[in-house]
Chain A
Amino acid sequence: MRHSHSRTFQGRDLEKLKTESETESNQTSKVKVMSLSLLRWLIPLGVILLGWQCTALFLASDNVPSVVQVFSSLQSHLVNGDMLYHLMVTLYRVALSFCIAMFFGVMIGIVMGAFPRLNEAGDSLLVIALNVPALVTIILCYVWFGLVEAAAITAVAINKIPTVIVMVREGARVVDRDLLQVAQVFKVSPFRCFFKVYLPQLYPFIMASARSGLSLIWKVVLVVELLGRSDGVGFQLGTFFHFFDIASILAYTLAFAAIILVIEGLLMRPLDRYIARGNYNDSGAGDNGRYKGGL
């Protein structure tokens, strides 16, 4: 009796100790995981930069600037030049054409996914639109609408819309009719049904097209700027190309790539987490594994 009593007492103490040490180890392990993921991130970057620097030193060519040269160029453009202005102009164009392309792409994708007849009718058109080279739309837009901002934005949006349509259409095709029946039976208003029942089923598809869209759009925006605008990163790259200023070209590229990374981290990932909110379960198993990677 006494023996068992003391044992349970000990057990309780042990448990208490255990939980205390657990919370402590939780905190330290959190820091560990953070630093580990940071390391995992930095090591490949460091290897690439190091390889680049070595190659540049080895080749000793004007056409292959070293890392140091590129970063000093980046610094001078940032501090003394108008890099920030050009970056912002390009970013504005990316954002605007991205929003336009997503809006129309999602709308048309939903309609085509929902109505099989319309889908059949529009399918060949869609295939053509998917395969028209970006350069052609850009040139045509400039010829028809003049060398204006609207033409530039339109050209980029037109390039992106078909790929958004294709992805969203797939989502709209596999929409869960069972859930829509729930909305119908309980007489949920069309507005609420669209935003609470229908659209959430498309979010993963919209998100995927947004991801691929961002990378495509900023590349097309640069071409548009190169061909018919007098500001923006594309225009600057064209100028540096004329002077064979490779260091500046790489500096601009790095700067914009960094901005895209920031957008990805600050906008896309939190959105991902928001969209996947219902799919998280306690055991952590299932199809949400893909959202679990660290930074």
Chain B
Amino acid sequence: MVNLKIAIERKSYAKNMPDVLGPLAFNVSQGEFVSLVGPSGTGKSTLLNMIAGLEPIQDGSIRFNDQLLAGSPPCKLSYIFQQPRLMPWLTVADNLRLVMPDSAPFEIEKMLDKVGLKGKSDCYPKQLSGGMQRRVSIARAFLTRPDVLLLDEPFISLDAPNAHRLRSLLVELWLEHKTTVVFVTHDLNEAIQLSDRIIFLSSSPGTVLLDKEVDLPRPRADEDIHFQNWKKHLLSQNPGLLEGQADGIEYESFSGGFI
């Protein structure tokens, strides 16, 4: 059970490069599903990498349960990357075993069964379709029973039915494991469907534009009338939100199309 306190002053990749993240602060309570939404290039992935300890924090701090992050995170953390990132020379089962060396074969089978990959444990990743590889990476992320789960646009470039299935799988596993989730996406529907809270980031350098609770009952379907109304209301109150504009004056005519 882990909560996150994120307070970043600024972040840039090199001294003479423009900042990718501006001043930005938010908390994630334990077991909460938080989505980060923003246009591409706002440093969403950078922020996730910082939380995962892959990217150094320059100015600011990230705390896990009030413990300052220095080096690798002080808890079990899983990361579902944009690409599945499986080792092509390891079978599916061995890919899972890599992150949990002492897991019994039946545990791995059970996990694969859960993501709908029963009997695929001896396949190599290249023998699987893109969607199946993604499911393996989801299985890998949940096998370690993480306290914190980071997802970086995991359902991008998937066909709609597959993405839908994987989204429900994610929610199912999240409800079962009570993991703290930070989910990066630029798909608003996806964010509304999945999360407890959505944090909208501005265009580069990324700062928090809006921190919005999603008070819709689960399960949520994006063709549902409440869902659509909620989204319409959100966009009408905050025009230019998806473009990362605070006031949205320049984009008024464009966002007017949604209303």
Contacts and interface: CB of A to CB of B under 8 A. Distances in A.
Given A184-B72, A187-B72, A280-B126, A197 B87 contact: yes
A278 B85 contact: no
Contacts of A183: 98
Interface in A157-190: 178-179, 181-189
A185 B83 contact: no
Given A184-B53, A184-B72, A192-B101, A200 B87 contact: yes
A166 to B, nearest CB: 24
Contact of A281 (B83, B87, B127): B127
A182 B87 CA distance: 9
Contacts of A281: 124, 126-127
Nearest to A199: B89
B171 to A, nearest CB: 22
A277 B124 CA distance: 8
A279 interface: yes
Contacts of A186: 78-79, 98-99, 140, 144
Interface string B108-133: 00000000000000001111000000
B256 interface: no
Given A178-B85, A196-B87, A282-B127, A188 B53 contact: no
A178 B77 CA distance: 17
Nearest to A182: B85
Contact of B54 (A179, A184, A277, A279): A184
In this complex, the member of A183, A196, A286 whose beta carbon has the largest number of chain B beta carbons within 10 angstroms is A196
Contact of A196 (B54, B98, B124): B98
Contacts of A187: 72
A179 B94 CA distance: 14
A179 B144 contact: no
A270 to B, nearest CB: 16
A178 B88 CA distance: 13
A179 B140 CA distance: 14
B89 A185 contact: no
A200 B89 contact: yes
Nearest to A276: B89
Contact of B52 (A185, A277, A279): A185
Taking residues whose C-beta sits less than 8 angstroms from the other chain, chain A's interface range is 20 to 34
B69 interface: no
A76 B168 CA distance: 77
A200 B86 CA distance: 13
A178 to B, nearest CB: 5
Interface residues of B, number: 24
A192 B90 CA distance: 13
B64 interface: no
B81 interface: yes
B83 A188 contact: no
A185 B79 CA distance: 7
Contacts of A189: 101
A280 B83 CA distance: 20
Contacts of B90: 196, 278
B88 A188 contact: no
A207 to B, nearest CB: 13
Contacts of A275: 89
Nearest to A183: B98
A197 B101 CA distance: 14
Nearest to B125: A278
Interface string B232-252: 000000000000000000000
Contact of A278 (B52, B77, B79, B88): B88
A184 B52 CA distance: 9
Nearest to A193: B98
Contacts of A197: 87, 98
A184 B94 CA distance: 17
A279 B88 contact: yes
Contacts of B124: 277-281
Nearest to A178: B85
Interface in B79-108: 79, 81, 83, 85, 87-90, 94, 98-99, 101
Given A192-B98, A196-B98, A278 B54 contact: no
Interface of B: 52-54, 72, 77-79, 81, 83, 85, 87-90, 94, 98-99, 101, 124-127, 140, 144
Smallest CB-CB A-B distances: 9 pairs: A278-B88, A186-B99, A278-B89, A278-B124, A200-B89, A185-B79, A281-B126, A182-B85, A185-B52
Interface of A: 178-179, 181-189, 192, 196-197, 200, 203, 275, 277-282, 286
17 contacts: A178-B81, A178-B83, A179-B87, A182-B79, A182-B81, A184-B53, A185-B78, A186-B79, A186-B99, A188-B99, A192-B101, A197-B98, A200-B87, A277-B124, A278-B126, A279-B126, A281-B126
Given A184-B54, A197-B98, A200-B89, 14 more contacts: A178-B85, A182-B81, A182-B85, A183-B98, A185-B52, A185-B77, A186-B79, A186-B144, A187-B72, A196-B98, A200-B87, A278-B87, A280-B126, A286-B126
